[in-house]
């Protein structure tokens, strides 16, 4: 059950706060480099705010500004093959050097390889924890966590002291995908929790990329299933950046605006929107959308564009402030000043 977008447990915590726990949290927050970011804070990451169930608050250890950087989630098995580890490292390092922040879950295997590759490349990386930030899980990730605190951010929606309970991780995964422009699945078995994250990403309108593998590799079977379900098969980072480059640029523009960089260096928002809608495909989507929430499948049917194209275009339009995502994955226009086409 949810109330006003919050779970019953979250609503209970808000209406009946534990004073002792609050004091403990305040002591933790008094230390350098520690932050609490609430949903209504201007610094709350834009993409995460727009998912169906955004966290009410985020505990952060590190740089909260990196949550606004263009991110790709790199995820996969806790027990990968040596080839999977190599792919996680190589893809993450290259994407990091191309300006993407690598986001993952600090788990053993693919997650840790992705974080480490970004760190070694001198880039930012974000770890979304399934515990309170006063704990590191698994313990083998302690050294990696320490590096991330000084070269990115450790984040969690869970209160301090929260243990690594099984139910925490599926909920954690929606944050990993919600922060990111897309998800890259390196390796995953058929019963892997990685598939849950990938499907959640698709529900959030994110691109899902997957690496193919050997038919004899059980850790490739999950990727093959995702590809059959519509994930994009990728062989190089160029395949990914071709899709994400424009979205990353838009997010960086939003970040510059949020930091109040001089307007002289920016194109006025209306001119940006008019330029986007000069594209025939974007104009077609705009024409189909109205001022009543419209399901994505209706937009796909009426425009004749693919689900992947519509997903990418709606995210771009959302970044520009042309549309707003409503509950249930429906979209509505939010720029009535733009002339009808």
pLDDT of residue 13: 64
Domain assignment present for 321: yes
Same domain? For 233 and 273 the reply is no
Q: What percent of the chain has pLDDT over 90?
A: 49
Q: Within this chain, do residues 228 and 290 fall inside the same structural domain, yes or no?
A: no
**Greater model confidence, 138 or 332:** 138
For residue 148, pLDDT over 80 is answered with: yes
Q: Is the pLDDT of residue 291 over 80?
A: no
103: CB partners within 8 A, 6+ apart: 71, 72, 73, 74, 125, 126, 127, 128, 176, 179, 180
Residue 83 has pLDDT above 90, yes or no: yes
- The pLDDT mean for the chain works out to 84
Dump pLDDT digits (tens) for 261-281: 434 444 444 455 566 788 888
E strands within the chain?
Answer: 2-3, 6-7, 34-38, 57-62, 71-75, 101-104, 125-128, 152-156, 182-185, 207-210, 232-233, 323-325, 331-333
Residue whose structure tokens are 């109205």: 290
Query: What is the residue whose two structure tokens read 């959640």?
Result: 200
Of 239, 255, 278, which one is at a domain's C-terminal end?
A: 239
For residues 178 and 317, state if they share a domain.
Answer: no
Of the chain, the percentage scoring pLDDT greater than 70 comes to 83
The answer to whether residue 18 sits within a structural domain is yes
pTM of the complete model = 0.73
Helix (H) or strand (E) holding 197: helix 193-203
Structure confidence by residue, pLDDT tens digits, 97-122:
888 899 999 999 999 999 999 999 99
| Domain membership flag for residue 185 | yes
pLDDT tens digits along 237-260: 998 988 887 677 666 666 656 555
How many structural domains compose the chain?
2
Please, is 311 exposed, middle or buried when counting C-beta atoms within 10 Å of its C-beta (0-12, 13-18, 19+)? buried
Domain shared by 315 and 175, yes or no:
no
Q: What are phi and psi of 55, to 5 degrees?
A: -60, 140
Q: Is the domain of 217 the same as that of 290?
A: no
Confidence of residue 48 (pLDDT cuts 50, 70, 90): very high
What CATH number did the domain enclosing 282 receive? 1.10.10.10
**Could you tell me if 39 and 169 lie in one domain?**
yes
> What pLDDT is attached to residue 277?
82
Q: Is residue 161 assigned to a domain?
A: yes
The per-residue pLDDT for 268 is: 45
Boundaries of domain holding 218: 13-239
Say if 61 falls within a structural domain. yes
Asked if residue 160 and residue 273 are part of one domain, the reply reads no
Name the least confident of 39-48, 70-79, 89-98, 207-216: 39-48
Question: How far is the C-alpha of 108 from the C-alpha of 175, rounded, in Å?
Answer: 18
Sign of the C-alpha dihedral computed for residues 91, 96, 102 and 107 taken in this order: positive
Biggest CA–CA distance in the chain, Å, is 58
Q: What is the CA radius of gyration of the chain?
A: 20
The three-class DSSP label of residue 172 is helix
Local structure of residue 328 (DSSP, 8 states): G
User: How far is residue 157's CA from residue 159's CA, in Å, rounded to a whole number?
Assistant: 7
Interval 273-293 mean pLDDT: 81
In a domain, 263, yes or no: no
Partners of 331 in the β-ladder: 294, 325
């Amino acid at each position: 059950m949810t109330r006003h977008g919050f779970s019953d447990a979250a609503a209970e915590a808000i209406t009946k706060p534990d004073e002792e726990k609050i004091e403990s949290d305040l002591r933790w927050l008094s230390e350098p480099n520690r932050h609490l970011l609430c949903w209504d804070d201007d610094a709350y990451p834009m993409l995460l705010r727009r998912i169906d169930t955004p966290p009410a608050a985020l505990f952060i250890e590190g740089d909260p500004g990196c949550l606004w950087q263009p991110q790709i989630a790199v995820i996969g098995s806790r027990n990968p093959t040596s080839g999977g580890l190599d792919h996680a490292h190589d893809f993450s390092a290259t994407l990091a050097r191309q300006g993407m922040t690598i986001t993952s879950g600090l788990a053993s295997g693919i997650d840790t390889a992705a974080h480490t590759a970004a760190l070694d490349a001198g880039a930012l990386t974000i770890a979304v924890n399934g515990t309170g930030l006063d704990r590191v899980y698994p313990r083998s990730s302690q050294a990696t966590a320490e590096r991330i605190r000084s070269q990115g951010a450790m984040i969690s929606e869970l209160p301090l002291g929260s243990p690594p309970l099984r139910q925490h991780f599926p909920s954690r995964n929606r944050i990993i995908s919600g922060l990111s422009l897309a998800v890259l699945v390196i390796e995953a078995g058929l019963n892997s929790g990685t598939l849950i994250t990938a499907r959640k990403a698709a529900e959030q309108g994110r691109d899902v990329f997957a690496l193919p593998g050997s038919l004899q590799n059980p850790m490739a079977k999950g990727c093959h299933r995702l590809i059959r379900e519509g994930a994009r098969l990728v062989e190089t980072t160029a395949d990914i950046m071709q899709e994400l480059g424009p979205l990353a640029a838009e997010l960086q523009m939003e970040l510059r605006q949020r930091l109040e960089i001089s307007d002289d260096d920016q194109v006025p928002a209306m001119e940006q929107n008019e330029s986007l809608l000069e594209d025939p495909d974007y104009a077609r989507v705009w024409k189909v959308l109205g001022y009543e929430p419209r399901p994505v499948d209706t937009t796909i049917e009426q425009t004749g564009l693919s689900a992947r194209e519509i997903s990418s275009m709606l995210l771009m339009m959302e970044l520009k402030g042309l549309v707003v995502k409503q509950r249930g994955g429906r979209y509505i226009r939010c720029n009535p000043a733009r002339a009808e086409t």
